[in-house]
Amino acid sequence: MTALTNLRQTVGPNSVTFITWNVKGLNNLVKRRRVFTHLLSFKPDIVFLQETHLRSADAHKLTHSFFSQTHHSAFDTKARGVAILIRKNLSFVCTNVIQDANGRFVIVAGKLYNTPVLLVNVYAPNWDNPQFFTSLIAKLTGLDTHHLIMGGDLNLVLDPILDRSNTRQSAAIPKSVSVLNTFIQNYGVSDPLRIIEPSAKHYSFFSPVHHSYSRIDYFLVDNIFTSRITNCKYHAIVISDHAPVQLDLSFPTAHAPQQRVWRFDSTLLSDEEFCKYISSHIDLFLEINDTPDVSKTLIWESLKAYLRGQIISFTAQKNKKCGERLRELSKLIANLDVQYASNPTPDLYKQKLLLQSEFETLSIRATEKLLLRTRQKVYEHGEKPSRLLSHQLRQSISNHSITEIKTDSTQIVTDPKQINTAFKNYYHSLYASQSTCNSDEIEAFLEKLNIPSMESDQQQTLERHISVAEILTAIGSLQNGKAPGPDGFPSDFYKVFANKLASLLCMMFAEIHASSKLPQTLSQATISVILKKGRDPQKCESYRPISLLNVDYKILTKVLTLRLEKIAPSVIHEDQTGFIAGRQSYFNTRRLFNILYSAHSVDSPELIVSLDAEKAFDCVEWGYLLAVLRKFGFGSGFISWIKTLYSMPLSSVRTNSTVSEYFALQRGTRQGCPLSPLLFDFAIEPLAIALRTDKGINGISRGGEVHKTSLYADDLLLYITNPEVSIPRMLELLSSFGSLSGYKLNLGKSILFPINQLARDLDYSKFPLTVENKSLAYLGIQITNNYNTLFKYNFSSLLEKTKADLARWSALPVSLAGRINTIKMAVLPKFMYFFQMIPLFLPKVFFTKLDGLISSFIWNKKCPRIRRSKLQRSKSEGGFGLPNFKYYYWSANIIKLSIWLRTFKENRGPLWSTMEITSYLPASPVSFMCASLPITEKISFRNPVIINTLKIWFQCRRHFGFKRTLIYSPISSNPFFPPALNDFGFKTWHKKGVVLFTDLFVDGSFMSFESICKNFDIPKSHFFRYLQVCSFAGKHFTSYPIQPLPGTLENCLQSQPTTRGQISQIYNQLHHIDPTSLSQLKNSWEQDLNSEIPEEIWNTSITLIHSTSICIRHSLTQFKVFHRSYLTKAKLARIYNSSDDRCPRCNHSPATMSHMFWSCTALDKLWDSVFKTFSNLCGRKIDPNPFTTVFGALPNTEGLNSYQTNAIAFLSLLARRLILV
């Protein structure tokens, strides 16, 4: 095979590289990784693979991060199989796929860089079969509209002289060749190699039997491509017995990326050698360059560039060792093939075998090293609720490439460079300032508003210098695994080297503050775009921009955010719940439900207006933002930080691997910046104040309060009456505000939602807003005009979606442990969101249906072997942490009850809570919440929110048998304590701090009247009231005058509702009320082992289930052993009368669990060897015993350290796994 000399063989920047390769099977993992590694060395765009030997169920094995599209045809056995793989971000749109049921071909029609093409991958029979080619040609129905690119193993030679090394073979031309040659002539198809080198000899297959070469792997292309062929090459025959064939075709609109973006490989951080290498270079750089006369900003920017170079050098050196030799061997093998084809001598063949053997050894060694690292990650994280499992569950996205886009002039462009330019122009325009007002107009607007100002101590908190401790806290709070900014350094890198970098960062931040100027890289960002669901892919605005900021910028803004979030709640009105500490999104929906479902006005129309702003975060004018911050009382130091951050920010746009030039931003809060959400809250607050205080906008009155606004960041709801007046004034105010701030209302998405019949009867045609009468989408849930339809629009639809998801995930090769974690990670959060947002009573039948779906999924539609209650136990208690959805539902509701209780006691709380506990005075829902069950008093509340909240609570209490009166029962506003309803003297007790009956107990005993008077300043004249209280306490608290011990449910009501993780804490407490007993399981083991299991051994065995190994599959094995879920011969014999209960190893009867792992004589040698290892490990004799063989627990651990006991537990687990094989 002579070297190709044609000038067109140089691969240009606008070439698309095709590879066809018969790989002879991809079922073996090592082989598969070697094939992909070798393929990627050619930097292919489209790959044709033959003989994948993968069945349809195994097609996922072709998935690779380099390719976004995979089209596979499989046979019904592990034979044949062809696949077409298409590189991600390649401009290819698939329009049709034809798959052969026999795994011989796959045809993909589509547009490649807007050129209609027909990609055909063929694995022809290895016998003369003209019917196959005739049938294949008949299926190429798109040749009149598409241009053919065919590749594959045709198992024939088109030219017996040029395509065979042994020309003395039979000169008879097979019929298949005649059929194919006729097709080539009639349909205008060419062999690319013969276009470039008409008489050259190249071979793709070596027959070791005949010691001959032949060219049976081809590309055949439409003649329109003949002038576009830039390269056609046959590579060395390695890994498979076929050579990869490369074809490069130029496409006028195909361009290589303008800029190669460097990105740090976070897997290097697990390499101890690398970490030491970088640490030493950080020290070396700072030692040389960190001098008083050099700017810290310059040092930091230089350090990043220096480290980038060192990292590239380190990885290049690491990859070079093996890669260089493999490339060299590939060339040597190719040259030897050329020589051996023309002169097949034994010496040349011996050299060929030696070179191929070395190539195989190096290739396998390199692949196994990569697999070892991959397997370690899978071993540690594979089926845990992690990113690895998330990738398996996620529905595949066929292609992220953008093939065409409309420009400003509505022209459709397909060139990648022009597409990128269109996006750049769009975002440049979006972020360009459109303010036409001056600072005086902004000041005049703000001056009219009663904007609160922060206290001087709060101002000082924001003004102080940034410390190293704050920087370390900020770095620690950053999320791992997020894409880095333009400099390529992710947060993982900063976390590992935080202690070395924090001091320099601190000095640099101080310098930035002093100079009011950001270094260049801190001001840069890259915008990536993702198509929004259901949107027009030809419009730039249909794509969601993801702004990638550099992590050092994020660290700076995170420090400022951590300061600001402590102050924001005191100056931002409670109407705003977005990103404000201590406020939750359900505050908004709860308030909305109370307004919507409580008694409506019969005198005036009431409606809700849902306002949608166009790209609200992106349109904030900076001049307006700074004026607002000054009005809120921010000091000059903090405002200086904001000015610096927004002085000259730059962004580029990345599309189809093309990165635009940087352009300046002139408005908008920076997406991805930790500070942006809070800055936006301050920016929109004046609008909320203006709407609340404007007398021309009439709010809805409920519970003595007038409600007008409710916000979650930019999601704004208005509650209005008298719409004929309120709506025009609202639109006028929004327009005025928008001209100052950049806020622009999206009229097409803004909704009018009438609440009462008077509002529904009005004509809204003169208003530029959409009217919805049945439902309103708000914060991810459907708000309906009828409380009874909330279930249908929300929970019912979620249940159906979950059913579809579980059906889709059922085909995944995931174990029981992975399926349980799938429920935790992908199903539970969706239901939890609804549980928190919607106060709706759900009957037990709902949870029965949900549990049925989950059980069917986790057991893969097989009969469950372990009770659900055991799976739902926490891991620390011998379970697997399968979520109990009913308990989570109750926990989410108990949080609301704890807020009720706190609001009632303190006379302050979230607005929704105050509305609910004061809605039906003199009675309070807190009194019903604490009353004994069943409730004897008629519940007079007409608000379904309160009724459903109480019904959920009563459902929970009945389940756990908690029916007595709660110690937190209120004294006043309590219909179960009638004196308090008629005697306003008890209101005095409330004001003095005697609110709940628990307040009357001190040091475990009921207080005397004298103590109450002294401690709470209660008048002496209230003695009769004291006697009434004593009477109630004596009747309802059986331990009176001793304080009743609070039950678990009562403790749950004392939780801190706004503290992170409170729902999980309540959930865990509910599990402890009625834990599933393991005593029966313990008895079963004791009978089986014919030995009593000491309590200490039993508890250790429970702990070891999940602590023995970090691999979740190992934990699952021990879990199944512990819970006796394996089908032993003895168990099968009990199920099936015809089944034999004898041990297949020793013929003992019955073969029980203990026999299976301990008493079987066939295992004696194994356990003798294992326990001998234990003895050597511990330095003393460890005798074989059933507790260690079955549970991994040692009867006597005296003198052993934790490393030894853990090693014994792990090794015994491996032995059990070996027995199970």
d(CA 110, CA 114): 9
Alpha carbon of 671 to those of 211, 286, 482, 488, 566: distances in Å?
64, 33, 14, 18, 22
At a CB cut-off of 8 Å and minimum separation 6, what does 73 contact?
Answer: 81, 82, 83, 99, 100, 101, 103, 104, 105, 106
Q: What is the mean pLDDT of residues 584-596?
A: 96
Least confident of 188-192, 412-416, 792-796: 412-416
Q: State the Cα–Cα distance between residues 133 and 127, nearest whole angstrom.
A: 12
**Residue 376: its pLDDT value, please?**
44
**Percent of the chain residues past pLDDT 70, beyond the cut:** 94
Q: Is 1065 left (phi over 0), alpha (psi -120 to 50) or beta?
A: alpha
Helices 676-693 and 551-571 pack at an angle, to 10 degrees, of 30
Host H or E run for residue 153: strand 147-153
Neighbours of 174 (CB within 10 A): 17
| pLDDT digits 0-9 by tens, 688-730 | 999 999 999 999 999 789 999 999 999 999 999 999 999 999 9
Tokens in use for 30?
Answer: 């090592």
For the chain, give the mean pLDDT. 90
Q: What is the pLDDT of residues 990-1008, one digit of tens each?
A: 999 999 999 999 999 999 9
Main-chain dihedrals φ then ψ at residue 667, nearest 5 degrees: -160, 175
363: how many CB neighbours lie within 10 A of its CB? 23
Q: Looking only at Cα atoms, what is the longest distance across the chain?
A: 126
What SS3 class is residue 702?
strand
Residue pair 239/34 in contact by the 8 Å Cβ criterion? yes
**Is residue 1074 predicted with pLDDT exceeding 80?**
no
The residues, ordered by sequence, that sit 6+ positions from 258 with a Cβ below 8 Å of its Cβ are 417, 420, 658, 659, 660
Within 13 Å, how many C-alpha atoms sit on residue 631's CB side?
Answer: 23
Q: Where are the beta strands (DSSP E) in 290-346?
A: none
Rounded Cα gap, residues 549 and 490, in angstroms: 10
Check residue 561 and give its pLDDT.
97
d(CA 105, CA 150): 10
SS3 category, 775: strand
How many CB atoms are closer than 10 A to CB 661? Answer: 12
| Confidence (pLDDT) at 9 | 41
d(CA 582, CA 1132): 56
- Both structure tokens of 20: 């066809």
Nearest to 63 by CA among 394, 536, 355: 394
User: How confident is the model at residue 400, as a pLDDT?
Assistant: 65
Q: Please provide residue 197's backbone torsions phi and psi, each rounded to the nearest 5 degrees.
A: -130, 90
Phi, psi of 258 (to 5 degrees): -65, -30
Give the residue carrying structure tokens 């083991």: 1085
Single out the residue of 449, 451, 440, 453 nearest to residue 690, CA to CA. Answer: 449
Q: What's the pLDDT band for 416 if we cut at 50, 70, 90?
A: confident
Q: 3-class DSSP state for residue 547? A: strand
- Residue 375 — pLDDT band, cuts 50, 70, 90? very low
Mark residue 742 as left, alpha or beta (left: phi above 0; alpha: psi -120 to 50; beta: remaining): left
Instruction: Give the Cα separation of 502 and 510 in Å (integer).
Output: 12
Are the CB atoms for 404 and 412 separated by under 8 Å?
A: yes
Is pLDDT of 380 > 70? Answer: no
Q: In what order do the strands lie in the sheet with 770-771?
A: 709-712, 715-721, 606-611, 751-754, 770-771
Unique residue bearing structure tokens 């003992």: 1148
Quote the tokens at residue 65: 């991060």
**Taking a C-beta distance cutoff of 8 angstroms, is the pair 726, 708 a contact?**
no
Cα-based angle 823, 824, 827 (whole degrees, multiple of 5): 50
pLDDT of residue 254: 60
Query: 315 Cβ partners below 8 Å, 6+ apart?
Result: 265, 268
User: Cα–Cα distance between 1058 and 582 in angstroms, integer?
Assistant: 5
The DSSP secondary structure of 790-805, one letter per residue, reads HIIIIIIHHHHHHHHH
Token reading at 445:
């607007």
Contact 491, 391 (CB under 8 A): no
Residue 897 pLDDT greater than 50, yes or no = yes
Mean pLDDT for the stretch of residues 249-272? 76
Measured CA angle at 1031 (ends 1028, 1036), to 5 deg: 130
Is-contact 110 403, C-beta < 8 A? no
pLDDT reading at 386 higher than 70: no
Cα dihedral 634, 451, 668, 526, rounded to 10, equals 50
SS3 1181: coil
d(CA 850, CA 827): 11
Contact 588, 779 (CB under 8 A): yes
Is beta strand 650-655 parallel, antiparallel or unpaired with respect to 524-531?
Answer: parallel
Q: Phi/psi class of residue 582: alpha, beta or left (left: φ > 0; alpha: ψ in -120 to 50)?
A: left
Instruction: Count the Cβ atoms, other than its own, within 10 Å of residue 242.
Output: 23
Token pair for 54: 């993968």
**Residues whose CB falls within 8 Å of the CB of residue 141, separated by 6 or more in sequence, listed in order:** none
pLDDT score, position 621 = 96
Q: Is 553 exposed, middle or buried (0-12, 13-18, 19+ CB in 10 A)?
A: buried
At residue 944, the 3 state secondary structure works out as helix
- The token pair at 1084 is 């079963």
Q: What is the CATH code for 15-250? A: 3.60.10.10
Taking 50 as the threshold, does the pLDDT of residue 3 lie above it?
A: no
The Cα 445–Cα 441 span in angstroms is: 6
Cα of first residue to Cα of last residue in the chain, in angstroms, is 51
The answer to whether 84 touches 71, Cβ cutoff 8 Å, is: yes
The answer to whether the CB of 214 falls within 8 A of the CB of 1 is: no
Place 403 in a pLDDT band, splitting at 50, 70 and 90: confident
Domain limits of the chain? 15-250, 266-393, 425-572+584-594+606-784, 787-883, 888-1073, 1083-1220
In which residue are the tokens 């006691």 written?
A: 905
Tokens 């304590």, residue? 977
The CA distance from 316 to 310, in Å, is 10
Structure tokens given for 69: 């599209």
Distance CA 975, CA 971 (A): 9
In angstroms, rounded to a whole number, what is the distance separating the alpha carbons of residues 201 and 193? 10
Q: SS3 breakdown of the chain: % helix, strand, coil, rounded to 5?
A: 50, 15, 35
Burial class (CB in 10 A: 0-12, 13-18, 19+), 165: buried
1090-1143 pLDDT per residue, tens: 999 999 999 999 999 999 988 888 899 999 999 999 999 999 999 888 899 999
CB 46 within 8 Å of CB 221? no
Percent of the chain with pLDDT over 90: 69
Q: Determine contact, residues 1151/1132, Cβ cutoff 8 Å.
A: no
Mind listing the pLDDT tens digit for each residue in 327-371? 788 888 888 888 887 788 888 878 877 887 777 777 766 665 555
Compute how many other C-beta atoms are within 10 angstroms of the C-beta atom of residue 69: 21
Give the amino acid at 41.
S
| pTM score, whole prediction | 0.85
